[in-house]
Structure 1
Amino acid sequence: MTTTPTTPEQTAPHTEAPDYGVLRWLVLATFVVILNETVMINAIPRLMEEFAVTTRAAQWLTSGFMLTMAVVIPVTGWFLQRVTTRQAFTTAMAIFCTGTLVAALAPTFAVLLLARIIQAGGTAIMMPLLMTTLMSIVREQDRGRIMGNVTLAISVAPALGPAVSGTVLAIGSWRLLFVVVLPIALAITYVGLRNLDNVGETRPGSIDWASVALSAFGFGPLVFGLSQLGEGSSTGPSWLPIAMLGLGATMLIVFVLRQLSLQRGGVPLLDLRTLTHRTYALALALMAVSFMAMLGSLILLPLYLQGVRGLSELQTGLLVMPGGIAMGLLGPQVGKVFDRVGGRPLVIPGSFGVFGGLALLTQVGAATPVAFVLGAHVLLMVSLAAIFTPVFTLGLGSLPADLYSHGSSLLATLQQVAAAAGTAIVVAVVASRQAGLLDGGASEVAARVGGNQWGFGVGAVLALVVVALALVLPGRPSTHGADTPEGTVAAH
């Protein structure tokens, strides 16, 4: 895999267009594996009934997937330095296919959750592999256009997961979600290996296993504690969520201190010098909050549409499909516009659109027209499409070449933690609100409506943070491709 990234000038002369064919297979494989991040969302009501688990337990099929990626992705920076592109691709797809097979045959909820964790291990390799390769070989003037296509895999795939699962669940068992994916993943692996070329050179490297342990014991308890907020004493001691949050926060502080120490005399697991680049730091924060809002909202829609409105899984999937398709079609076009005008004309309107879409969803009730829900969801997805491509491109493009791999790993890690935390927080708020309304004498439907409204309200509050960050995000990285720690990049 790429370990000493080359500059665009080194990869291709200015007089001829470089060949980006290697990205085609990485994007295709990444789309398939990331699609599985949210493919279980629509199946949650059915899984709750079949395995007799609560909503909080069932949502760990999604949160656990994201959390596993967050823990594994930092390790992939070291792994990708030691292996070729083809070896990394083979490893990622082999792990993913193994997890998919185990999930299809899972006899219990625990085995299914384990299978999802295995799947996530393969997915965690594919994301940094794709992003680091892209930043290493794509010329700066082409990055918006190419990143628009990459956004299809990284951002659109999670958005399409519920739509795909709704269609498949209408045919038969939830196991078909994995039975259908497995041969597709195997075919992509076969074709990819026949066409994929190695990019860059490998080099030996060491890994700080203490940092790996600190990241695992930091992110794990943090997200678990968030998921338990509002649960009360029905599932454990009332102090447990706070204790887990405290443990996770403490371990992450120690993790950061460990990385800062290793930066002075060793090899950090995540080089936090990326955060000294203002544009990258702003892009990282904006992306994290956007994913918190998006994934938290995505998990609510099936619960509302099926639990309150009585729609089938197929109807739910079809309802959210237009938004996912619109997001996918807009990705490449947004990239082209970014190359011409920069990020601010896209990101600022997009951030207001995200807030508007989530604010509309806070008004859904037991008799809200389905067309209203459809329109709000499409607005949300289109607005996110205007945000993701510019933010990815601005953030990574502001870093020097030697920090590309660390920047992409940190971006992917925080993206997954934010998405898992957003899901956990929203579910906790919904459950707490529902319990309060039921205790107050509200009907089951009224309690579900009230819970969902508060859940979407959390997303709307997060969207206000997105707006604030969008207003200060520069339009382009510096003319040399990386802004300095002290400097700020002028908005164009």
Structure 2
Amino acid sequence: MSSLEKPAIRPVPITIALMIGAFIGLLSETALNMAFTEIMSDFGIETHAVQWLTTGYLLVLGILVPVSALLLQWFSTRQLFSASLLFSILGTLVAAVAPNFAILLIARVIQAIGTGLLLPLMTTVILVIFPAHKRGTVMGTMGLVITFAPAVGPTLSGLVVEKLSWHWIFWICLPLLILTFFFGLKFMQNVSTITKPKIDILSVLLSTIGFGGIVYGFSNAGEGAGSWGDSLVIVPLLLGVIGLTLFAIRQFRMEKPMLNLRVFKFKMFTFGVIIVFICMMLILSASILLPLYLKGGLLLAAFSAGLMLLPGGVINGLMSPFTGRLFDKFGPRVLVFPGFIITTLFTFLFTNVTTETSTIAVILMHTGLFVGVAMIMMPGQTNGLNQLPKEYYPDGAAVMNTLQQIAGAIGTAIAISIMSAGQMTYMADHAGDVNDPIFMSGALTAGVQNAFMFAFIASIIGLIVSLFVRRVKV
């Protein structure tokens, strides 16, 4: 053992610090969605403007996460952890006191920088400090953090907005972030290897145009039906595709690329990326469709809608460590294939919801869907990353996390567009008054049915891909 390896790595406190930081970052991200109505009222803005609180966040992640592979080779673990928490703390503080929408949007961008640094850092550090036979359990615990935060976010914000104001969503998160920062300063250790490769400015530029264009274009498309032909959708998507193509060509030609796309030559990693991509589309499309259906189709209040989505998210989170242990023992096939069977069944059931569907039925279907997701997400991701050599860990983590953000943007955009188109078709085919809540709830429900058909087809594709998944020998 060399002198550089003598300080004993303490994986548990390192992992705790990273996961708490990620949990709070993701919590504040999703919690804000339920407060959009109040923010629009307070600042006198329209829906297309308030959506930028989500679009801007996704855009920053889409630009920053691909660059994280480079940052992980330039800065130490402690430096990146500290920077990510400081950005999160600053963004949360600015958001809590934001006097207008512009300041709130700037705060969200600062928050996104913190999250964009932390998520790939967490994945890479876990790969480095835990042996392959224990990663399933640890990644399962990470899955609990990543899925439990979005699950409790809407419920918490519904309660906070009802009793206090949306500012308190950030005031509640702020002291927790500060405590995590000091906890991390005490226990965080430098576990990554700093090589300081040459920074290729053209690669950074092409990555920014490529990933940023894709996320921005799809996010704009998600604002409503008929927007796919808009120049704000077509131009960014076109620039994004051109940017990504040139970026990929350049990376393959470079001896030391910014983001090593040779990770895709590992078959199980590629299958893992596809599985995680589809799974994220299922999660994000369901997460945006169900609140709309519950509030607009079943005419429930925001807090009640948030409570209905809580059991599925909680059970999904609690299952993640359990599925992680099963993965360590039996491998991915006993989880991923049955998981896709479950998601396929429940997405199909969601294509048949009506304005008369009982709340118990919705809770059971949502819970069933997220049980399937728990069996797919972390086992698929962990098995793929396990096949990579150690020097590819930063690149693999960056690719996985970047494509998760893109999958979220694509899944949300397609789901909203199909829902809006179905809503308009219903209104054209049925006589009714747009001021009649019953008629409009029927129209929205028809749109939701159509949108879940997209999720159903995506799940079938995932089911087919899962047939080719094999356990990686490590």
Q: Normalising by structure 2, what TM-score?
A: 0.90
Pairing of 1:251-262 with structure 2 (within 5 A): 251-262=243-254
Tell me what 1:472 maps to: 468
| Cα distance in structure 2, aligned partners of 1:20 and 1:11 | 18
| Cα distance in structure 1, aligned partners of 2:177 and 2:358 | 38
Question: Any conservation in 1 of the 2:223–2:416 contact (CA below 8 Å)?
Answer: no
Question: Any conservation in 1 of the 2:272–2:383 contact (CA below 8 Å)?
Answer: yes
| Cα distance in structure 2, aligned partners of 1:285 and 1:233 | 27
Pairing of 1:170-249 with structure 2 (within 5 A): 170-229=162-221, 238-249=230-241
1:406-441 Cα offsets, whole Å, 9 max, x none, are: 000110011111112211222222223323433444
| Cα distance in structure 1, aligned partners of 2:371 and 2:341 | 11
Do residues 362 (structure 1) and 362 (structure 2) align? no
Offset at residue 466 of structure 1 (A): 1.5
Report the RMSD for the aligned CA atoms in angstroms.
2.6
| Cα distance in structure 2, aligned partners of 1:348 and 1:466 | 9
1:227-255 Cα offsets, whole Å, 9 max, x none, are: 44487899897454333322221111111
1:251-303 Cα offsets, whole Å, 9 max, x none, are: 111111121122xx3x3221000000000000001101110111111012221
Tell me what 1:394 maps to: 383
Q: What number of residue pairs does the alignment pair up?
A: 464
Q: 1:375 aligns with which of 360, 364, 367?
A: 364
Deviates more, 1:460-469 or 1:330-339: 460-469
Question: Any conservation in 2 of the 1:167–1:318 contact (CA below 8 Å)?
Answer: no
Cα separation, partners in 2 of 1:367 and 1:45, compared to 1, 3 Å? farther
Question: Any conservation in 2 of the 1:144–1:393 contact (CA below 8 Å)?
Answer: yes
| Cα distance in structure 2, aligned partners of 1:471 and 1:54 | 46
Q: Which runs of 5+ in 2 are unaligned?
A: 433-438
Cα separation, partners in 2 of 1:239 and 1:144, compared to 1, 3 Å? closer
| Cα distance in structure 1, aligned partners of 2:428 and 2:55 | 28
Cα separation, partners in 2 of 1:316 and 1:81, compared to 1, 3 Å? same
Question: Any conservation in 2 of the 1:230–1:431 contact (CA below 8 Å)?
Answer: no
Do residues 148 (structure 1) and 140 (structure 2) align? yes
Offset at residue 213 of structure 1 (A): 1.8
| Cα distance in structure 2, aligned partners of 1:261 and 1:17 | 36
Tell me what 2:84 maps to: 92
Deviates more, 1:31-40 or 1:413-422: 31-40
| Cα distance in structure 2, aligned partners of 1:467 and 1:236 | 28
Q: Which secondary structure does the structure 1 equivalent of 2:415 belong to? A: helix
Letter in 2 for 1:150: M
Question: Any conservation in 1 of the 2:275–2:465 contact (CA below 8 Å)?
Answer: yes
Q: Which secondary structure does the structure 2 equivalent of 1:472 belong to? A: coil
Q: 1:35 aligns with which of 17, 23, 27?
A: 27
Q: Which runs of 5+ in 1 are unaligned?
A: 1-5, 482-492
Q: Which secondary structure does the structure 2 equivalent of 1:36 belong to? A: helix
Tell me what 1:434 maps to: 423
Tell me what 2:436 maps to: none
| Cα distance in structure 1, aligned partners of 2:77 and 2:315 | 32
Tell me what 1:338 maps to: 327
Letter in 2 for 1:344: R
1:187-243 Cα offsets, whole Å, 9 max, x none, are: 111222122222244332322222222222223332333344487899897454333
Q: 1:306 aligns with which of 295, 298, 302?
A: 295
Question: Any conservation in 2 of the 1:11–1:18 contact (CA below 8 Å)?
Answer: no
1:113-152 Cα offsets, whole Å, 9 max, x none, are: 3322211110011111111111111112211111211212
Question: Any conservation in 2 of the 1:67–1:417 contact (CA below 8 Å)?
Answer: no
Tell me what 1:454 maps to: 450
| Cα distance in structure 2, aligned partners of 1:357 and 1:54 | 34
Question: Any conservation in 1 of the 2:55–2:219 contact (CA below 8 Å)?
Answer: no
Offset at residue 96 of structure 1 (A): 1.0
Letter in 2 for 1:179: W
Which structure: greater helix fraction?
A: 2
Letter in 1 for 2:458: L
Tell me what 1:488 maps to: none
| Cα distance in structure 1, aligned partners of 2:90 and 2:120 | 20
